[in-house]
Structure 1
Amino acid sequence: MHLKENEAFIYVCGKTQILYLISKQKTTTYHISTAKNGFGEQKDSFKTPRGWHYIRFIIGRGNPCNTGYIRRRVTLKKSEISSRILWLQGLTPKQNKYGHQDSLRRYIYIHGTPNTFLKRPISKGCINMRNQDIAALTQQIPQYCKVLIQEC
């Protein structure tokens, strides 16, 4: 992929449980957790969807790093979703866009978590990151940044 000066994209490798932020200037890596149930696109499977996506919405930019969310709204209750939410939209019809496999309708996110035991598949379908890591990532990406998720 040829990148312009200010472009970047995210690559998620399920085998290594690493998220790569790739730009023309450098590559930054972050430890993550994908789904405990593995990879798949079907609704209610609790699996991480594969393929090309883009970040449709960025939620929480500017909020404190440990802010918790329930249904994408700030909460004072303890929450598994915290810091930032990058809500993904699939780009491939019949794989991760439209119908029962639509990533946006499945509420698939890259999001922060207070859980620091990452590096192994433990999520319910989303891609989990440490709160400070997703806060840093969010500062480095554009709104509609592309994301490629693969099992590797």
Structure 2
Amino acid sequence: MIIISLSEQMLYHRRKTGVWYAYPVSTAAKGAGNLSGSFKTPLGRHRIAKKIGDGLPLLTAFRSREPFCIYDPENDDPDRDWILTRILWLTGCETGKNRRGKVDTHRRFIYIHGTHEEDKIGTPASHGCIRMKNKDMLDLFENSAVGEAVLING
């Protein structure tokens, strides 16, 4: 089980062993919200729908969920919201809240992913996704499963 606290900017992961791991994250700069186009982090019960990037190098950059290069800070595009290292693509479990219609988390392409802005981890700065430090993202990816529950709280 994964619990994400927007107020704490933390992600808690309970592994199969029963041990909890804590990671700092960065959620939406605009706060919590479930509407499509809001650039907010959706609340409620979710699950991991798909894991993307297994076996790829650290700092692999994704475009439309496909790897296209290795991120190089020397060639950074300041207007790009880089999605790096791994992707956990979320889907909502609550019809009318985060599933279907204008509130569908999956169709909003809400991910847990690595970022090029690791210095902003711990403060809200994303466009709706949950950003993690890249090495933390590797650890979470390796120890999570498709179908695993994800609860996002305010």
Q: TM-score, normalised by structure 2?
A: 0.89
Question: Is 1:22 the counterpart of 2:14 in the alignment?
Answer: yes
Q: 1:107 aligns with which of 106, 109, 118?
A: 109
Q: 2:67 aligns with which of 49, 58, 74?
A: 74
- Counterpart of 1:56? 49
Give the Cα separation in 1 of the matches to 2:69 and 2:56.
13
- Counterpart of 2:135? 132
Q: 1:120 aligns with which of 123, 127, 140?
A: 123
The one-character-per-residue Cα deviations of 1:7-66 (angstroms, maximum 9, x if unpaired) are xx0000001100000135211000100000000000000000000000000000111111
Aligned-pair distance for 1:115? 1.3
Q: How many residues align?
A: 143
Give the Cα separation in 1 of the matches to 2:153 and 2:106.
17
State the identity %. 38
Q: TM-score, normalised by structure 1?
A: 0.91
Give the Cα separation in 2 of the matches to 1:133 and 1:103.
23
Instruction: Extract unaligned runs of 5+ from structure 2.
Output: 72-79
Moved over 6 A (4+): none
**Cα RMSD, aligned residues only:** 1.2
